[in-house]
Structure 1
Amino acid sequence: MTCVNNILVVLDADKQQQKALNRALHLARIASAKLTLLLSIYDFSYEMTTMLAADERNSMRDNLINDRKVWVHDLLDAYNTRGLEIEVKVVWHNRPFEAIIETAIAGKHDIIVKATHHHEGLSTLLFTPTDWHLLRKAPCLVLLVKEHDWPEHGKVLAAIHTTAEHEHHHDLNTRITEQALRFAQCLHSDVHLVNAYPGAPVAIAAEIPEFDIGDYRDTIAENHRQALAEHGAKHQIDAAQQHVREGLPEQVIPELAEELDAELVVLGTIGRTGLSAALLGNTAEHVIERLNCDLLAVKPVGFKSPVKV
């Protein structure tokens, strides 16, 4: 069982150090996977050339594409690529996330590997970064790469929601855990499970004097522990590697990942779009900002990307 077979690597057009490429080469070697290196480019000065003849505009665009292809091949000279199957694609597109998803769909890639960077300020609400679009809309696994190493015998942390009522949540829990186990097998690492649960409702306790916060908290915690134990048993994950914590997922998951010195966090992401996505985001988007390691985002069963090829 391999974790991936067909990797799409998103290159940074303005960086010499390519975190995603480093990670993808490592993954390709241990999984015997093939690689496609993708660079999406667009020069907005091209919009100012509408007075030129069509063949002149096309020549300008083609020259830019060819220059960047040379840059990618020069970049590869610094890496050991012996024995690896690698294809280079440079595409002309003014919306990078669409270029990435279209390429992933057309090439039947099972994972997109992209470096991620910290996003600050109001721009994250009004102008959604490319990696947020990928978390919401990519049809395959998305691996967002940070600085943390991938040592052997490390830890992979799978974040699940054990007490969800809907069947699609249970299916997503299974998919998250299975992907965590696959990557852990490739990385010779151990899988840990984490489940965050909400704190006691203090407002209710203030209004109802007989409401016992301690009993309520203990009951909720025990329900989550039992549910996580059942899930862990199905996947042969030891009780010592199961963690139930009170708090919001975007707080609990990064804190535990740092405690464990995890190399990878695996969680599910729902393809929320529209105003709710712009204002609220989802758990994966909040978590990735706080993580010090890589994040692997898993989509629900039957997810279809809104981006069309």
Structure 2
Amino acid sequence: MNSFNKLLVILDPADEHHKALKRALHMARLNPDCKLTLFLSIYDFSYEMTTMLSSEERDIMRSNLIADRKAWIDDLLSQFDTDNMEIEKEVVWHNRPFEAIIEEVLKNNHELLIKGTQVSPSFQNLLFTPTDWHLLRKAPCAVLLVKEHEWPSHGQIIAAVHTGSEEEHHQKLNKRIIEHAQAMSKTLDASVHLVNAYPSAPVNIAVEIPEFDVTEYSDALEQHHINRMAALGREFGISSHAQHLSQGLPEQVIPDFAKQLDAELVVLGTIGRTGISAALLGNTAEHVLDQINCDVLAIKPEDFKCPLA
């Protein structure tokens, strides 16, 4: 799998550090084939509701605001070295930013969506907005959520896999996660680590079934996960030293290893469910993502169908 070449960069005028733009420019410098589209969705409810303006006058005001924001993007770009980069700018008027972003992805087949995140000043962890969660669940391409820090050479990338499942869609998603992690590692000159969490024995089972050997069960479960991870390591050329397994919940294990390895990037999969299952998925994902202190690259299954398409 090659590096991402078509990047959609979500601009945020409120972000004085312009995290998403800086990350995208960094990637473009490392990959000369990168094409960037800088995207901004704007909306002012008062312009839609005023009775003082005709429909034509409102259209003119919207056009003027869009032109003003494009001029702001030009001023912003002038602060950076963009020589030999292919950069387009898109400003749209839309009252639902995540829908505007997804419509742009579908329209122009962007491969990677890059968006800055908020950061908790007390813990330096990521704080995800409602727009972030909509994009994680519904965007039809990979989503990179960016925190403020550099991506040094010879860094560490985590591929967070789920080796316990026998289901084909989980196994395919594991492979996509690793392939994307390795593609990013080539761009960034970084090392890839596999990380997996496996569950402990149910607490109540030893009470209900006295002859049940919890230790034997846990040992067998751990060995099963070790074997499955080793198989993935062999398939993708990842050494045993870069395979990390721990008993516990993903929302505990993945952030712990991200901190231990001082990872620059965690690559993980999102199924993108809707309805009740989305709430349950969001619960786990929210706990994982909220504690990761580095960038997150969220990968969808190959057969993912965008609910807005």
Rounded to whole Å, the distance in 2 between the matches of 1:285 and 1:299 is 16
Does the residue aligned with 1:113 lie in a helix, a strand or coil?
strand
- Look up the match of 1:269: 270
Q: Judging changes above 3 Å, is the alpha-carbon distance between structure 1 residues 268 and 31 closer, same or farther for their aligned structure 2 residues?
A: same
- Between stretches 35-44 and 70-79, larger displacement belongs to 70-79
Paired residues for 1:36-47 under 5 Å: 36-47=37-48
> For the Cα contact (< 8 Å) 1:135–1:284, is it kept in 2?
no
Cα deviation digits, residues 178-224 of structure 1 (max 9, x gap): 00000011111110001111112121113333322221111111100
- Look up the match of 1:27: 27
- Look up the match of 2:139: 138
Does the residue aligned with 1:58 lie in a helix, a strand or coil?
helix
State the 1:244 CA deviation. 1.0
Does the residue aligned with 1:267 lie in a helix, a strand or coil?
strand
> For the Cα contact (< 8 Å) 2:119–2:147, is it kept in 1?
no
Amino acid at match of 1:302: D
- Look up the match of 2:184: 183
* Stretches of structure 2 lacking an aligned partner (at least 5 in a row): 121-127
**TM-score scaled by length of structure 1:** 0.93
Q: Judging changes above 3 Å, is the alpha-carbon distance between structure 1 residues 234 and 246 closer, same or farther for their aligned structure 2 residues?
A: same
> For the Cα contact (< 8 Å) 2:157–2:265, is it kept in 1?
yes
Q: Judging changes above 3 Å, is the alpha-carbon distance between structure 1 residues 279 and 243 closer, same or farther for their aligned structure 2 residues?
A: closer
- Look up the match of 1:75: 76
- Look up the match of 1:169: 170
> For the Cα contact (< 8 Å) 2:140–2:306, is it kept in 1?
yes
Rounded to whole Å, the distance in 1 between the matches of 2:283 and 2:23 is 25
Does the residue aligned with 1:91 lie in a helix, a strand or coil?
strand
> For the Cα contact (< 8 Å) 2:161–2:174, is it kept in 1?
yes
State the 1:128 CA deviation. 6.7
Rounded to whole Å, the distance in 1 between the matches of 2:280 and 2:245 is 28
Cα deviation digits, residues 60-94 of structure 1 (max 9, x gap): 11111111111111111111111111111111000
* Stretches of structure 1 lacking an aligned partner (at least 5 in a row): 120-126
- Look up the match of 1:122: none
Paired residues for 1:287-302 under 5 Å: 287-302=288-303
> For the Cα contact (< 8 Å) 1:269–1:282, is it kept in 2?
no
Amino acid at match of 2:282: G
> For the Cα contact (< 8 Å) 1:148–1:292, is it kept in 2?
no
Does the residue aligned with 2:140 lie in a helix, a strand or coil?
coil
Rounded to whole Å, the distance in 2 between the matches of 1:50 and 1:274 is 38
> For the Cα contact (< 8 Å) 1:175–1:298, is it kept in 2?
yes
Rounded to whole Å, the distance in 2 between the matches of 1:179 and 1:282 is 25
Rounded to whole Å, the distance in 1 between the matches of 2:11 and 2:298 is 19
State the 1:282 CA deviation. 5.5
Rounded to whole Å, the distance in 2 between the matches of 1:282 and 1:109 is 28
- Look up the match of 1:124: none
Rounded to whole Å, the distance in 2 between the matches of 1:205 and 1:194 is 29
Q: How many residues align?
A: 301
- Between stretches 131-140 and 157-166, larger displacement belongs to 157-166
- Look up the match of 2:60: 59
Q: Judging changes above 3 Å, is the alpha-carbon distance between structure 1 residues 128 and 115 closer, same or farther for their aligned structure 2 residues?
A: closer
Q: Judging changes above 3 Å, is the alpha-carbon distance between structure 1 residues 139 and 282 closer, same or farther for their aligned structure 2 residues?
A: farther
Rounded to whole Å, the distance in 2 between the matches of 1:15 and 1:223 is 45
Identity %: 60
